[in-house]
Structure 1
Amino acid sequence: MTDQSPAYHYAVIARALKVIDEAGPNLTLDDLAQRMDMSPAHFQRTFSQWVGISPKRYQQYLTLDHARRMLADRFTTLETAIETGLSGTGRLHDLFLTWEAMTPGDFARGGEGLTIRWGWFDSPFGPAIVMGTDRGLCGMGFAAEMGAEAAFEDLLRRWPKATFVEDPTALRPWVLDAFGTDGVGKTPLHLIGAPFQIKVWEALMRIPTGHVTTYSEIAGIIGNPKAVRAVGTAVGRNPISFLIPCHRALRRDGSLGGYHWGLPVKRAILAWESARTGM
């Protein structure tokens, strides 16, 4: 893992998260660098490469109450987002998604007849396992917290009857575009889930970058205002993390709630988006 790789940068950020959580946001640059066994210059350079701003300002995005401030200042009602066309604007790196959903019958067959290609990639949030069909990406998970084997098995279990082929080369253009490394225009998604889950995932994709919403708001938009718990379950079962932005769904009180791939990853993604959108 080189000093220039996204995974290396995430590893530094993940360590910084723990240090800031334990010691508070008022640490100096020298203190932070010393706690992570790095020189101040090296630490500053790594931070700047990853987020484009100073560590001091970035600390503001990593404090525990950042999510509550987001909910207070940047809460986005999905209904407004739909009416004003926000679902297609404000994405990082001019990223636009196209998606189609598998039919309920196909989903019920557990992926039978599908060929799913997979590969490991560096990402800004640590090692990412990515899967895709001929129609688009169908799976993305992060291994920084749960480990590579568990992350890989997690996605495999979702489509038990599919045929899996290791083929990172086929997926690479979509992955590079997804993380803004080499934008090629569009990242197609192939949503494989139950009809209710797909409704929730489509709602998530309408939340603009740098904004958040709540589980109860999503439940209302999809026409099931009392189904908050079911919405939370569907959010947690989102197979295409980051691109279907389940990290932007918070509890009503502004707390982060859960995150399938680990709360440190969720906080890192929210902070990364906040820093890049300047919000």
Structure 2
Amino acid sequence: MNTIDHRALVAQGRFETPLGGMLAAATARGIAGLWFDGQRHHPGALDVPSDSTQRWIAQLREELWAYFRGASMRFATPLDLAGSDFQRSVWQALLSVPAGETPTYGALARSLGRADAVRAVAAAVGRNPVSIVVPCHRIVGQNGSLTGYAGGLDRKAALLRLEGARAGLQRPLELAA
């Protein structure tokens, strides 16, 4: 299932981050997508104007810079996520996982009252259309292993290091010029 309604998009913008380029897509209501270049489920070229000054894209860019500097782990940019009711419930649950915590897919499924649906929960986590902001990178395998990040395991590890989950302290990443 495609988790973005291309017809509702009003703007797109590109960001360079310490972990590579990212593409953001916005509707009139909020951010609908944020993907790393080369990420699994990346939508490819979007037939929507490039506008880095669009209000949600500009706000997200500032929040991402603060995140990568280690100044803030919070995002206030409104989201406009398209997906099934089940996917949206999983993504909503991800928003409640604090920086520095790494629950398992099983724990996430149990928190949703769906302990028997770990694979379905994991699939929804993997289809998260808004990397970093909806923190799917914080979910780990049953034994604590880093598994299943559409943006790549190297990026997942870097995001967790930044958030202090593995090392016990926060380390800002170098910002790309």
The TM tier, using the shorter chain, reads: 0.7 to 0.9
1:209 — aligned with what? Answer: 99
SS at match of 2:143: coil
1:259 — aligned with what? Answer: 149
Residue 35 of structure 2 aligns to which amino acid in structure 1? Answer: G
Q: What is the correspondence of 1:224-239 to structure 2 with a 5 Å cutoff? A: 224-239=114-129
Rounded Cα–Cα distance in structure 1 between residues aligned with 2:92 and 2:157: 22
Q: What is the correspondence of 1:193-204 to structure 2 with a 5 Å cutoff? A: 193-204=83-94
2:174 — aligned with what? Answer: none
1:124 — aligned with what? Answer: 18
1:55-93 Cα deviation digits (max 9, x unpaired): xxxxxxxxxxxxxxxxxxxxxxxxxxxxxxxxxxxxxxx
Rounded Cα–Cα distance in structure 1 between residues aligned with 2:44 and 2:29: 18
In structure 2, relative to structure 1, the CA distance for the partners of 1:174 and 1:229 (3 Å cut) is same
C-alpha RMSD over aligned residues: 2.9
1:278 — aligned with what? Answer: 169
Rounded Cα–Cα distance in structure 2 between residues aligned with 1:268 and 1:197: 25
Residue 8 of structure 2 aligns to which amino acid in structure 1? Answer: L
SS at match of 2:164: helix
2:50 to 148, 155, 166: 166
Runs of 4+ in 1 over 4 A off after TM superposition: none
Which of the two has greater helix per residue? 1
The normalised TM-score by structure 1 is 0.52
Rounded Cα–Cα distance in structure 1 between residues aligned with 2:41 and 2:94: 25
Rounded Cα–Cα distance in structure 2 between residues aligned with 1:247 and 1:133: 24
Whichever of the two has the greater Rg, that structure is 1
- Sequence identity of aligned pairs in percent? 35
In structure 2, relative to structure 1, the CA distance for the partners of 1:277 and 1:180 (3 Å cut) is farther
User: Mind listing any 5+ residue stretches in structure 2 that lack a counterpart?
Assistant: 171-177
Rounded Cα–Cα distance in structure 2 between residues aligned with 1:273 and 1:240: 17
SS at match of 1:127: strand
In structure 2, relative to structure 1, the CA distance for the partners of 1:273 and 1:169 (3 Å cut) is same
SS at match of 2:66: coil
User: Mind listing any 5+ residue stretches in structure 1 that lack a counterpart?
Assistant: 1-106
Residue 93 of structure 2 aligns to which amino acid in structure 1? Answer: A
Rounded Cα–Cα distance in structure 1 between residues aligned with 2:104 and 2:5: 31
Does structure 2 retain, via aligned residues, the 8 Å contact 1:116–1:163?
Answer: no
**1:223 Cα shift?**
1.6
How many aligned positions are there? 161
1:168-215 Cα deviation digits (max 9, x unpaired): 2212232212331798x8311111111100111111111111111110
Residue 83 of structure 2 aligns to which amino acid in structure 1? Answer: G
**1:153 Cα shift?**
7.7
Rounded Cα–Cα distance in structure 2 between residues aligned with 1:226 and 1:192: 24
Q: What is the correspondence of 1:181-200 to structure 2 with a 5 Å cutoff? A: 186-200=76-90
Rounded Cα–Cα distance in structure 1 between residues aligned with 2:6 and 2:16: 29
Q: What is the correspondence of 1:39-188 to structure 2 with a 5 Å cutoff? A: 111=5, 113-143=7-37, 146=38, 151=39, 154-156=42-44, 164-170=48-54, 171-180=57-66, 186-188=76-78
Does structure 2 retain, via aligned residues, the 8 Å contact 1:117–1:133?
Answer: yes
In structure 2, relative to structure 1, the CA distance for the partners of 1:142 and 1:252 (3 Å cut) is same
The normalised TM-score by structure 2 is 0.79
